C-alpha cells in the first residue's frame, strides 16, 4: 500500500474477481499465521486453493514484501517454503489524547516490538500532535532496526466521533482543534497509509484481539477519560451505526437536574463520571487532586472523599451500562481508561449500578471487567486494525 491510500472498511463487491482474490489472500495469510512456514504445495492443500492460485498470490505478495520464500526440500523434491514477513513488517498504532500521545509498533502476528508515550500540552494543535507522533514513530523504528518502508499502515485513534462517510473528525470530540481534520490530511503529514478511528472503538478491538477477552463476539468497551465513549463489538464486528458515531454513552441522561454538559444537555453521564469532573470535585484541599494518577493513589490510600466520588461515578456508569446492556445483550462489558487502574474499587460501584438497572437475566449473564491494558488499549487497537486490514483485504492499492 502506498502513502495516500485510504484503508477501505469493506472489501470490493462480493463475488467480484478482486473480492475473490482478496478472500484467497486472506486464507493464505491466516494459514501462514497459524502454521508458520509452509511449502506452496502444503499451502494449496491446507487452503483448498489450486497450486496455480497459490503460486500467483505468493508471487504478488513476495513482490510487495509481505511474504518471503526460501528453497527447501519436501519428500526429497525441491520446493519453496513460504512464510509471512512478520518480523520485518510493522503495523503502527497511535493514540492521541487530550494530554498524551502513545505509539506502539507490532509485527503482523501481534507481537508488540516497541512502545512509548509522551505528554502533550492541553489545547495542542493537531499538526503539533502529529509531528510528535511522527517523531516517536521514527525513534521506535530506529530502536528495533526498521525503517519506514517496513510500516504497512498506521491506525490512529482520537477521542471523538469520526464520520465514516468522509473519514473526518467531527464535532463532539474533547479535542476541538481536531474537528474537520480528515484522514487525507493525516496521511499527508505522516506520509504513510492511515486508518482513522474513534478511540473507544479501538479499545474494544484491543480487548478482543489481545488478553483475557480475546475472541469475545459481543463486547462493550467503555473508555472513561475526559470524555466517556464506548466501542460496540456486535457479532464480532465493530458496530459503527449509520454514519460511524455509535456508542456515545457519555451523553446518556442520568440526572434530569444535573450539571450542564458540554453537549448542551443537563445531567449527562459525563457530568458525573468523566475524569475531568472527578479531578474537579477533588481539586480542593486536602485532596488537591491534579491528575487521574492522584485519584488512583488516594483511592488506594483509602481517602474517604476520593472513594465517595469514585463510588458515585461508578454507580452512574453502571446505570448507563445497564441501559446499553438491556438493549444489546453483550457477553462482556470492559471499562478502560486511566481509572481502570482502580480495579475492584471502580468495578464494585459499577456492578451496583448495573445490578439495579439491568434486567435480572442480563445481569446474570453479563461479565463486568476492567481493562488489563489500562491506558494502552487504544494504541494497541490502532495497531490491530492495521493487522485486521492486512488479513481481510491485503494491501492491494
Ligand atoms: Zn452531554
Whether residue 8 lies inside any domain: the answer is: no
Q: Indicate whether 250 and 200 sit together in one domain.
A: no
CA of 98 to the centre of ligand 1 (A): 18
Better pLDDT: 44 or 14: 44
Distances (CA, A) of 67 to 62, 82, 395: 5, 7, 12
Are 383 and 368 part of one and the same domain? no
In a domain, residue 23? The reply is yes
* Confidence check: pLDDT of 2 > 60: no
In a domain, 4, yes or no: no
At residue 222, the pLDDT reads: 96
C-alpha grid cell for residue 305?
Answer: 472523599
Indicate the number of domains in the chain.
3
Q: How far is the CA of 363 from the centre of ligand 1 (A)?
A: 26
In this structure, is residue 12 part of a structural domain? no
The predicted structure's pLDDT at residue 87? 61
Ligand 1 centroid, distance to 253 Cα (angstroms):
7
pLDDT in tens, 284-312: 999 999 999 999 999 999 999 999 999 99
Per-residue pLDDT reduced to its tens digit, 172-203: 777 889 999 999 999 999 999 999 999 999 99
Cα 256 to ligand 1 centre (Å): 12
Query: Can you give the CATH number for the domain in which 31 is found?
Result: 1.10.10.10
- What are the tens digits of pLDDT across the range 141-177? 999 888 888 898 999 999 888 999 999 998 877 788 9
Q: Read off the pLDDT of residues 328-352 as tens digits, 9 standing for 90 and up.
A: 999 999 999 989 989 999 999 999 9
Same domain, 54 and 166: no
Tell me whether strands 219-224 and 228-234 are parallel, antiparallel or unpaired. Answer: antiparallel
Dist. CA 62 → ligand 1 center (Å) = 50
Residues 105 and 62 in one domain: no
pLDDT of residue 86: 60
Examine the domain organization and report whether 67 and 139 are in the same domain.
no
Residue 129 Cα, ligand 1 centroid: separation in angstroms? Answer: 26
52 and 102 belong to one structural domain: no
Q: Which of 65, 84, 103 is the last residue of a domain?
A: 84
* Res 137 pLDDT > 60: yes
Q: Model confidence at 89, in pLDDT bands (50, 70, 90)?
A: confident
Is 163 inside a domain boundary?
yes
Phi, psi values for residue 303, rounded to 5°:
-60, 125
Question: How far does the centroid of ligand 1 lie from the alpha carbon of residue 268, in Å?
Answer: 5
- Please check whether residues 78 and 185 belong to one and the same domain: no
Q: Nine-digit cell at 65?
A: 514484501
pLDDT digits (tens, 9 = 90+) for 238-293: 999 999 989 999 999 999 999 999 889 999 999 999 999 999 999 999 999 999 99
CA of 174 to the centre of ligand 1 (A): 12
> Is residue 6, in this structure, part of any structural domain at all?
no
| Residues 104 and 139 occupy one common structural domain | yes
Same domain for 343 and 218: yes
Taking the centre of ligand 1 as the mean of its atom positions, its distance from the CA of residue 250, in whole angstroms, is 6
How many angstroms is it from 3 CA to the middle of ligand 1?
37
What pLDDT shows up at residue 5? 41
More confident residue, 2 or 47: 47
pTM metric for this prediction? 0.81
Whether 396 shows a pLDDT value over 70: the answer reads no
Classify residue 1: in a domain, yes or no.
Answer: no
Taking the C-alpha atoms of residue 358 and residue 376, their distance in angstroms, rounded to an integer, is: 29
Are 310 and 194 within one domain? no
Q: Is the same domain home to 255 and 318?
A: yes
pLDDT for 4 beyond 90: no
Residue 153 alpha carbon to ligand 1 centre in Å: 34
Is residue 316 a part of any domain in this protein?
yes
Same domain, 348 and 226: yes
Residue 221's domain spans which residues?
A: 214-372
Query: 59, 84, 109 — which closes off a domain?
Result: 84
From the CA of 115, how far away is ligand 1's center (Å)? 33
- Among 68, 84, 100, the domain-final residue is 84
Q: What is the domain-level CATH number for residue 220?
A: 3.30.420.40
The chain-wide mean pLDDT, for the chain, equals 88
Q: Tell me the three cell numbers of residue 172.
A: 463532539
pLDDT confidence tier of residue 30, bands split at 50, 70 and 90:
confident
Percent over 70 (pLDDT), the chain: 93
Cα separation, 273 vs 104, in Å, equals 28
Amino acid at each position: 500500500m502506498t502513502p495516500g491510500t485510504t484503508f477501505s472498511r469493506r472489501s470490493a463487491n462480493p463475488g467480484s474477481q478482486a473480492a475473490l482474490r482478496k478472500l484467497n489472500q486472506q486464507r493464505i495469510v491466516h494459514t501462514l499465521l497459524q502454521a508458520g512456514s509452509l511449502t506452496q504445495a502444503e499451502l494449496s492443500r491446507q487452503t483448498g486453493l489450486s497450486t496455480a492460485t497459490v503460486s500467483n498470490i505468493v508471487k504478488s505478495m513476495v513482490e510487495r514484501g509481505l511474504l518471503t520464500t526460501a528453497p527447501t526440500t519436501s519428500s526429497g523434491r525441491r520446493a519453496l517454503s513460504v512464510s509471512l514477513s512478520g518480523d520485518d513488517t510493522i503495523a503502527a498504532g497511535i493514540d492521541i489524547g487530550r494530554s498524551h500521545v502513545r505509539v506502539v509498533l507490532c509485527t503482523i502476528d501481534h507481537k508488540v516490538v516497541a512502545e512509548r508515550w509522551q505528554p502533550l500540552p492541553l489545547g495542542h494543535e493537531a499538526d503539533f500532535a502529529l509531528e510528535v507522533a511522527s517523531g516517536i514513530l521514527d525513534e521506535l523504528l530506529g530502536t528495533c532496526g526498521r525503517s519506514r518502508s517496513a510500516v504497512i499502515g498506521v491506525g490512529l485513534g482520537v477521542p471523538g466521533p469520526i464520520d465514516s462517510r468522509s473519514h473526518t473528525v467531527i464535532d463532539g470530540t474533547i479535542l476541538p482543534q481536531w474537528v474537520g481534520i480528515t484522514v487525507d490530511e493525516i496521511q499527508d503529514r505522516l506520509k504513510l497509509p492511515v486508518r482513522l478511528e474513534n478511540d473507544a472503538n479501538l479499545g474494544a478491538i484491543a480487548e478482543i484481539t489481545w488478553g483475557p477477552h480475546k475472541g469475545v463476539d459481543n463486547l462493550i468497551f467503555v473508555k472513561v477519560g475526559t470524555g466517556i465513549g464506548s466501542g460496540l463489538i456486535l457479532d464480532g464486528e465493530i458496530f459503527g451505526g449509520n454514519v460511524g458515531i455509535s456508542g456515545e454513552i457519555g451523553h446518556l441522561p442520568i440526572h434530569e437536574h444535573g450539571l450542564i454538559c458540554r453537549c448542551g444537555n443537563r445531567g449527562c453521564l459525563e457530568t458525573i463520571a468523566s475524569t475531568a469532573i472527578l479531578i474537579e470535585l477533588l481539586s480542593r484541599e486536602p485532596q488537591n487532586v491534579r491528575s487521574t494518577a492522584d485519584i488512583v493513589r488516594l483511592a488506594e490510600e483509602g481517602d474517604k472523599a476520593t472513594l465517595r466520588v469514585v463510588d458515585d461515578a461508578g454507580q452512574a456508569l453502571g446505570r448507563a451500562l445497564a441501559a446499553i446492556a438491556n438493549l444489546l445483550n453483550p457477553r462482556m462489558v470492559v471499562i478502560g481508561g486511566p481509572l481502570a487502574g482502580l480495579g475492584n474499587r471502580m468495578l464494585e460501584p459499577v456492578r451496583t449500578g448495573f445490578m439495579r438497572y439491568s434486567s435480572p437475566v442480563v445481569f446474570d449473564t453479563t461479565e463486568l471487567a476492567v481493562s488489563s491494558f489500562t491506558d494502552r488499549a487504544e494504541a494497541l487497537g490502532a495497531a490491530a486494525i492495521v493487522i485486521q486490514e492486512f488479513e481481510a483485504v491485503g494491501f492491494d492499492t
